[in-house]
Amino acid sequence: MPIDFEHSAKTKAVTDRTAAVIAEHILPVEDEFGGDIDAAGGDEARVKLQQSARDAGVFAPHAPQEFGGLGLNMCDRAPVFEAAGYSLFGPLALNIAAPDEGNMHLLAHVASPAQKDRYLRPLVGGQVRSAFAMTEPAPGAGSDPSMLTTSAHRSGSGWCLTGRKHFITGADGAGFFIVMARTSGAPGDRGGATMFLVDGEERGVHVGRHIATMDHSMVGGHCEVEFSDVRLTDDDVLGEVDEGFRYAQVRLGPARMTHVMRWLGAARRAHDVAAAHVAGREGFGGRLADLGMIQNMLADNEIDLAATRALLLRACWELDRGHAASAETSIAKTFGAEAINRIVDRSMQMCGGLGVSDDLPIARIAREVRAFRIYDGPSEVHRWSLSKKAVRKIRDTALTSS
Amino acid sequence: MPIDFEHSAKTKAVTDRTAAVIAEHILPVEDEFGGDIDAAGGDEARVKLQQSARDAGVFAPHAPQEFGGLGLNMCDRAPVFEAAGYSLFGPLALNIAAPDEGNMHLLAHVASPAQKDRYLRPLVGGQVRSAFAMTEPAPGAGSDPSMLTTSAHRSGSGWCLTGRKHFITGADGAGFFIVMARTSGAPGDRGGATMFLVDGEERGVHVGRHIATMDHSMVGGHCEVEFSDVRLTDDDVLGEVDEGFRYAQVRLGPARMTHVMRWLGAARRAHDVAAAHVAGREGFGGRLADLGMIQNMLADNEIDLAATRALLLRACWELDRGHAASAETSIAKTFGAEAINRIVDRSMQMCGGLGVSDDLPIARIAREVRAFRIYDGPSEVHRWSLSKKAVRKIRDTALTSS
Amino acid sequence: MPIDFEHSAKTKAVTDRTAAVIAEHILPVEDEFGGDIDAAGGDEARVKLQQSARDAGVFAPHAPQEFGGLGLNMCDRAPVFEAAGYSLFGPLALNIAAPDEGNMHLLAHVASPAQKDRYLRPLVGGQVRSAFAMTEPAPGAGSDPSMLTTSAHRSGSGWCLTGRKHFITGADGAGFFIVMARTSGAPGDRGGATMFLVDGEERGVHVGRHIATMDHSMVGGHCEVEFSDVRLTDDDVLGEVDEGFRYAQVRLGPARMTHVMRWLGAARRAHDVAAAHVAGREGFGGRLADLGMIQNMLADNEIDLAATRALLLRACWELDRGHAASAETSIAKTFGAEAINRIVDRSMQMCGGLGVSDDLPIARIAREVRAFRIYDGPSEVHRWSLSKKAVRKIRDTALTSS
Amino acid sequence: MPIDFEHSAKTKAVTDRTAAVIAEHILPVEDEFGGDIDAAGGDEARVKLQQSARDAGVFAPHAPQEFGGLGLNMCDRAPVFEAAGYSLFGPLALNIAAPDEGNMHLLAHVASPAQKDRYLRPLVGGQVRSAFAMTEPAPGAGSDPSMLTTSAHRSGSGWCLTGRKHFITGADGAGFFIVMARTSGAPGDRGGATMFLVDGEERGVHVGRHIATMDHSMVGGHCEVEFSDVRLTDDDVLGEVDEGFRYAQVRLGPARMTHVMRWLGAARRAHDVAAAHVAGREGFGGRLADLGMIQNMLADNEIDLAATRALLLRACWELDRGHAASAETSIAKTFGAEAINRIVDRSMQMCGGLGVSDDLPIARIAREVRAFRIYDGPSEVHRWSLSKKAVRKIRDTALTSS
């Protein structure tokens, strides 16, 4: 039957179990340590949190069933990931945190059977963590990937990889890296890039300083990483040579959407905290929740939550049908990132002084979500891309009709 | 299969036929008369425009098949009505313009078989027009329906109806009115209201002046109407006595959504005109479409179109399942009305001086859509209602979990 | 004493007299004819309205005293023009409407004594109207003046002027035109432009159709004008040859500010009407003015009015000191135009259905002010210019400090 | 001469000297310690920073000259405080940080000569710090001061003070407190409050935990403080009994404005950092500063900086004339707080990943300024107050004109 917004019974069940384990086992840990995963114990905390999710039967819900996951498609992931994102530690607990989650998705689609056994299986199982090494310090690849400077060249029967990366999330302690390196062309033109699987223990891999940022919920930091003459074989090539930019899209479209799902959960928590606050507080002759300006903010939050969810599901449906869905994911990501920040900001405002304090979780949620308007493509880059498509569409229509 | 955004083949076909008849037969008339239906000939123009839609097999697509319509449900209507709304005269042509469209919906759900034969059948067929008489001059019912002053009291075996209404769209020339009148309680409390079917020729019905407003695309104006001791029988009661407020919701939820559909089409036309303009114009050393600030506006339009469509479809799906969907329709209406106005405003800005002139259709679209942020519940009233639901939800959650 | 925001006693007196004549003699005419100057009688109405202002001693307050004006500088004009702008017909009444007001300013600064006697004196006196012919249909000069195509070339001892203009406000019935024409370089480079004074009766001057636009308060329409081999002498050159772009700035900086002043008055009227409406209406259990969402809009209006006024005065002060004040006028114009539109939009929203009707003046004010975000430089062009200055400033700071 | 925006030579000189000492001596310390005053050494750091300002002759520029300050009025303070605010540690260095700066202002206006000698003199000199104890945990005084619960009652010839406060900035280590306590009426009505001067060493004063908040630049934390039967004499009453709410206004109006001044400096730094970043970076085929979407943000920053400065100066001028300037300070505070947050947010966005990292100062500036939309009256409370004035004004006009 056409048009249906109803999730399957299985998805609903996983969502409910996720919400329950988050409320019972994950939120208390987040709240105790103020959302700082290092303070909570870093990798050790991760192991414990993941055990809770495993016990609840909601571990790695997105991963292929043959590798130990629940095999949910993109549409199914939406409510589950949102439920997990309700706690800043939730995604880690379910093993659906960035960058591992996106890396699993990429490996599942592009890796060879041998690579899947070696890298995907332990990643799904939570035995190792991973990192995705793409962004570089200026003048390298940032928002504009064509500026990629890290390069790999043929060396005997293998490859020699050299370059500097930064803001590499989860690098410290990562079992392996997926590294984007130029294999043809020169920085500034697009040329060809190739993805390499690089073991974290490999000679020539140097994880440098953690770049301190506003967020604190991710294990392994946002690091500088240097690759110095790292020797690799053809078996370390992920997919085909020179197809890296295309695979990046395979990873990025869904990864953007799962980010939206997770942060949507965090935004919902901020909203719930604020709604409870204004429902319970008095001032100006009545309940805060009955003041028109507060009602304005509550309603705008409801609207932003609903719109983000609607755009997200639409993009997921396109992805599940095998479409690139570049416009749909750009729209859902851009709107979602901005809406999520608005929701959290309004929630903070509604809570007054408490809102900016660590006595409520809103201030830390605000710190975590801000960067989402920048990473996975800044809003400006998505808008640029959307505008180009809009003009192309008009041109095509004009050509057709004339 | 759960989650599906694909429209049925039938719906797609109706949508395509609608787009075609709009482009070929309706837009030229709109453009010739600058979107002013009175200038185009008023009711006579309506008859001709409707013949085009009839010939294309897309007339009254929403009406029950037994009364001559195509029987599309709410989800199916969305793309069809949007395609019709691409011209300001499109809804009239398809016989899906306000207020007739909402009145057909209401009659189909509430009227007795006899009433359907007498009122619904000719309305679906385009033989008559109708009006919905609810809003009143101060201090009567406006945004706050509880202030209803028009009243009907028992008089012998029938009723005697008295009161003043204003902003009654389509009143001039209407074959009949659906009149909301108080039958119990007093203005300011909710009490009970009843809907009456009143023939336009009935003694005591006086259609007064047309209140001039920004929009010009609706036949029959926005009029003052006075009902002076109009004598009615029990057969003229629509549904049950004192159930009028409830029926108003039956009408209003879907009516809000069909408004969004139609205006979304108009907004899309404004966007298309602007995109074509900036794609074809040079300035500042290049094509306008390649300037970042223009790209910003194009992209924001794409985002607003997509988000409105997504929220709309979601609300329609709830309505099709028989839910009141009060929150979903409030969200889609509020977001949609504001987004539509933003889209049209940006489109105007992109076209510069031409944008505010009548050489392009954008200025007249801007005039038509502005009121949509006010009628069918101003944004503020929907936000007020949404905030109350948000607080209730939090309260219920708190009660459940404690 | 440094820092003073107090206007002189003279300015206050002129402001008060202006407010009085507007309330007593001008608003009633505007309201009677719904702000449509053509409906009110066009040029004949102008003559009557101007007599009222003359009788009140507030006619041509900005013009040099030697030519019959009151000699107010830019800072002094601010409150007077705002008071005049409170009615859409007010600027016409005081002879400070665009484009005459800006033309007087330009002539006072650039014209020769003979030109002042011939053109400025009757213009100040209200005996003639004038037009400023700069913008051209594509691909000519619009937002980007370097695309100027109208040109004048030497022909014997004089000049021969040829070109097409459009959106020339007040052209129909104008006693004379100030025409911007290229006298060196080619469209697309800047080259040199010259301003010519062209009598409206001159052979080769053809005023074409009125381009219908959203606004209706200006005498003489927004016209297409064609100049076909118009013969001119050196005495018809305004200022120096090839200095036209520079003079345009002399005109545009102050003209932008006087636009802000006038529209600020109109916005204030919309706000006053809305404030009075919500103060007098009941709904939702109390006075509309006591609802938080209404209070939000009232307060935002107050903020926007104050911020526009503050930026305006600052820019005027710079202009009065003889500075080009390009950044200051861009800021005041861009912020002001957008703020004025926001104020009027909120005022409309507060008045509900009445707000979009002609029963209140807000809808017509909305139609008049929309174009101000486009003419005198669209917001986008001002932002582009401001950003370039911001970057230059940073570069200079960096150079200085290193 | 009426209307002047020019600062005096003295003010300009103090501003220049301030900018110099900030650049040379204060910014390096801020940058070394990431804007965390505790990390920098807390009170010891303060002493050193203040010595730099003293050496530069810009210490306590706002304090009365007889007590060792420079005696600048509100208008003069604006550029000086903005220059100081360019570093997060600048206000501390100049001894113009909250809450000391506002307390000095209050004491200068209300304290007796003996109180000035005992409290004001060492405060101006930087020998002690102070705190202002007004806000209370729920259900006490927050945004609504009428809910004040801390109370003082007559006890013999003196007073006995009891109550709990929270978010008391600078409490830890404060030499004295200015405490707001109810001396008549009951929580919920306005009644009367009195200000008491309470020595930090006084028996019954307990400074509790530091409430962790987003900001880190203030010495002495935001603390919980308990006053348990603190014994006070009539000499400890600041001003008159029951006049506390009125004095709070004396403090709050100017304190709001000096907050705007300081944060405006911080916002300007964020903007400068971003402008330098985009001027020096390449991407998408050119300099980032030449991309339209970046230019949009740069220009909006310039507009917001200018508008904040303009509204601020206007309010200061009213205060300097001895007016309460309640509307003017509400407008400048509300607009300023929101504009400052927008500026910092756009600056962060322009810097991409670096913007959210601690490698640039923008992220920490963002953390510091967020609360300004909440403290000193949340935007919502100011808007509520502004709307009430707007309606009163309209009512008065209506009464006058009828």
The per-residue pLDDT of chain C, averaged, comes to: 95
Lookup: tokens for A137 = 């310090």
3-state SS of D206-234 is EEEEECCECCCCCCCCEEEEEEEEEEECH
Strand C176-184 to strand C130-133: parallel, antiparallel, or no bridges (unpaired)? parallel
So what's the pLDDT on residue C191?
A: 81
Strand D192-199 to strand C237-238: parallel, antiparallel, or no bridges (unpaired)? unpaired
Is D374 within 8 Å of A349 when comparing Cβ atoms?
yes
Q: Given the structure tokens 């049908």, which residue do they identify? A: A321
Q: Alpha-carbon distance D314 to D331, whole Å?
A: 10
Give the up-direction half-sphere exposure of residue D65: CA atoms within 13 A in the CB hemisphere. Answer: 4
Q: Which amino acid, residue A230?
A: V
So what's the pLDDT on residue B401?
A: 57
User: With contacts defined as CB-CB under 8 Å, which chain D residues touch A284?
Assistant: 143-144, 384
Q: Which amino acid, residue B97?
A: A
So what's the pLDDT on residue C402?
A: 47
Q: Alpha-carbon distance D311 to B391, whole Å?
A: 37
Backbone angles phi, psi at D198, to 5 degrees: -125, 120
Instruction: Return the closest-CA partner of residue D371 out of D301, D266, D240.
Output: D266
The residue in chain B having the minimum alpha-carbon distance to the alpha carbon of residue D291 is B292
Reported pTM? 0.97
User: What's the ipTM?
Assistant: 0.96
Instruction: Return the closest-CA partner of residue D3 out of B156, C316, C61, C258.
Output: C316
The whole-angstrom distance between D172's CA and the closest CA on chain A is 17
3-state secondary structure of A227: strand
* pLDDT at position A228 over 80: yes
Q: Are C355 and C334 in contact (CB under 8 A)?
A: no
The per-residue pLDDT of chain B, averaged, comes to: 95
Is B296 within 8 Å of D293 when comparing Cβ atoms?
yes
Q: Alpha-carbon distance D78 to D8, whole Å?
A: 12
The whole-angstrom distance between A375's CA and the closest CA on chain B is 18
B61-98 confidence digits (pLDDT tens): 999 999 999 999 999 999 999 999 999 999 999 999 99
Q: Alpha-carbon distance D62 to D123, whole Å?
A: 12
Instruction: Please provide the size of chain D in residues.
Output: 402
B292-333 confidence digits (pLDDT tens): 999 999 999 999 999 999 999 999 999 999 999 999 999 999
Instruction: Please provide the size of chain B in residues.
Output: 402
Percent of chain A with pLDDT over 90: 90
Strand partners, D189: D187
Q: Are C216 and C37 in contact (CB under 8 A)?
A: yes
Q: Alpha-carbon distance C91 to C86, whole Å?
A: 9
Interface of D with B in 253-292 (CB under 8 A): 291-292
C204 pLDDT tier (thresholds 50, 70, 90): very high
* pLDDT at position A30 over 80: yes
C396 pLDDT tier (thresholds 50, 70, 90): confident
Question: Which CATH code is given to the segment(s) A130-242?
Answer: 2.40.110.10
**Domain-wise residue ranges, chain B:** 9-97, 130-242, 246-401
Q: Alpha-carbon distance C269 to C87, whole Å?
A: 8
CATH class of D9-97: mainly alpha
The whole-angstrom distance between C291's CA and the closest CA on chain A is 6
Percent of chain A with pLDDT over 70: 99
DSSP state of A22: I
Q: Alpha-carbon distance D371 to B198, whole Å?
A: 59
Q: Are C192 and C183 in contact (CB under 8 A)?
A: yes
Lookup: tokens for A391 = 């003009």
Give domain A245-401's CATH architecture: Up-down Bundle (1.20)
Domain B9-97 matches domain B130-242 at the CATH topology level? no
Q: Alpha-carbon distance C101 to C259, whole Å?
A: 10
Q: Alpha-carbon distance A81 to A68, whole Å?
A: 17
More confident residue, D388 or B1: D388
Q: Are D355 and D365 in contact (CB under 8 A)?
A: no
Crossing angle of helices A379-401 and B244-280, in 10° steps, is 80
Name residues of chain D where pLDDT drops below 50: 402
Instruction: Return the closest-CA partner of residue A206 out of A244, A243, A235, A177.
Output: A177
Is B397 within 8 Å of A272 when comparing Cβ atoms?
yes
Q: Which amino acid, residue B325?
A: A
* Distances from the Cα of D68 to the Cα of B33, D61, D71, D100, D177, angstroms: 77, 9, 9, 15, 21
A186: CB partners within 8 A, 6+ apart: none
So what's the pLDDT on residue D303?
A: 98
So what's the pLDDT on residue D399?
A: 62
So what's the pLDDT on residue B285?
A: 81
Of A271, A276, A331, the CB nearest to B398: A276
- B24, with CB counted inside 10 A (0-12, 13-18, 19+), is exposed
A191 pLDDT tier (thresholds 50, 70, 90): confident
Q: Give 3-state DSSP helix, strand, coil % of chain D, rounded to 5.
A: 55, 15, 30
Strand partners, B222: B169
Q: Where are the alpha helices (DSSP H) in A230-325?
A: 244-280, 292-320
Interface of D with C in 18-47 (CB under 8 A): 23
**Angle at the Cα of C101 (from C97 to C105), degrees rounded to 5?**
165
Instruction: Return the closest-CA partner of residue B244 out of B376, B175, B146.
Output: B146
DSSP string, C263-299: HHHHHHHHHHHHHHHHHH-EETTEEGGGSHHHHHHHH
Q: Alpha-carbon distance D264 to D340, whole Å?
A: 6
What is the CB neighbour count within 10 angstroms for residue C316? 28
Q: Alpha-carbon distance D286 to A384, whole Å?
A: 15
C24: CB partners within 8 A, 6+ apart: none
The whole-angstrom distance between A124's CA and the closest CA on chain D is 28
So what's the pLDDT on residue D308?
A: 98
User: With contacts defined as CB-CB under 8 Å, which chain C residues touch A292?
Assistant: 291-296
- D342, with CB counted inside 10 A (0-12, 13-18, 19+), is middle
Query: What counts of helices (H) and strands (E) characterise chain C?
Result: 15, 10
What is C246-401's CATH number, 1.20.140.10, 3.40.718.10, 3.30.360.10, 1.20.1420.30? Answer: 1.20.140.10
Backbone angles phi, psi at D181, to 5 degrees: -140, 145
Strand partners, B195: B180, B238
Give the up-direction half-sphere exposure of residue A113: CA atoms within 13 A in the CB hemisphere. Answer: 1
So what's the pLDDT on residue B323?
A: 94
Q: Given the structure tokens 């030519």, which residue do they identify? A: C67
The per-residue pLDDT of chain A, averaged, comes to: 95
3-state secondary structure of C87: coil
Interface of D with C in 44-83 (CB under 8 A): 75
E strand or H helix that includes residue A104: helix A100-110
C37-90 confidence digits (pLDDT tens): 999 999 999 999 999 999 999 999 999 999 999 999 999 999 999 999 999 999
Lookup: tokens for B41 = 């000939």
Lookup: tokens for A242 = 């020179």
Instruction: Return the closest-CA partner of residue D63 out of D88, D89, D95.
Output: D95
Is D353 within 8 Å of A359 when comparing Cβ atoms?
no
Q: Which amino acid, residue A342?
A: R
Across B128-157, b (16+ Cβ under 10 Å) vs e yields: bbbbbbbbbebebbbbebbbbbbbbeeeee
A188 pLDDT tier (thresholds 50, 70, 90): confident
The whole-angstrom distance between B292's CA and the closest CA on chain D is 4
So what's the pLDDT on residue D402?
A: 47
Interface of B with A in 338-397 (CB under 8 A): 382-384, 386-391, 393-395, 397
**Mean pLDDT score, C18-35:** 97
* pLDDT at position C211 over 80: yes
Q: Where are the beta strands (DSSP E) in A62-157?
A: 130-133, 151-155
Of B143, B293, B352, the CB nearest to C374: B352
Is D284 within 8 Å of A384 when comparing Cβ atoms?
yes
The reply to whether omega before A139 is within 30° of 0 (cis) is yes
The whole-angstrom distance between A298's CA and the closest CA on chain C is 12
Interface of A with B in 129-158 (CB under 8 A): none
* pLDDT at position A399 over 70: no
DSSP string, D21-89: HIIIIIHHHHHHTTT-HHHHTTHHHHHHHHHHHHHTT-SSTTS-GGGTS----HHHHHHHHHHHHTSTT
**Angle at the Cα of B260 (from B258 to B261), degrees rounded to 5?**
65
A145 pLDDT tier (thresholds 50, 70, 90): confident
Is B5 within 8 Å of A3 when comparing Cβ atoms?
yes
3-state secondary structure of B9: helix
Report the range of poorest mean pLDDT among C11-15, C90-94, D398-402: D398-402
Q: Alpha-carbon distance D164 to D133, whole Å?
A: 9
Is C293 within 8 Å of A296 when comparing Cβ atoms?
yes
E strand or H helix that includes residue B233: none
Q: Alpha-carbon distance C278 to D68, whole Å?
A: 52
Lookup: tokens for B312 = 């709309």
C111-166 confidence digits (pLDDT tens): 999 999 999 999 999 999 999 999 999 999 888 888 999 999 999 999 999 999 99
B175-227 confidence digits (pLDDT tens): 999 999 999 988 877 789 999 999 999 999 999 999 999 999 989 999 999 99
Is C390 within 8 Å of D296 when comparing Cβ atoms?
no
C302-314 confidence digits (pLDDT tens): 999 999 999 999 9
Does CATH number 1.10.540.10 belong to domain A9-125? yes
Q: Alpha-carbon distance C176 to C225, whole Å?
A: 12
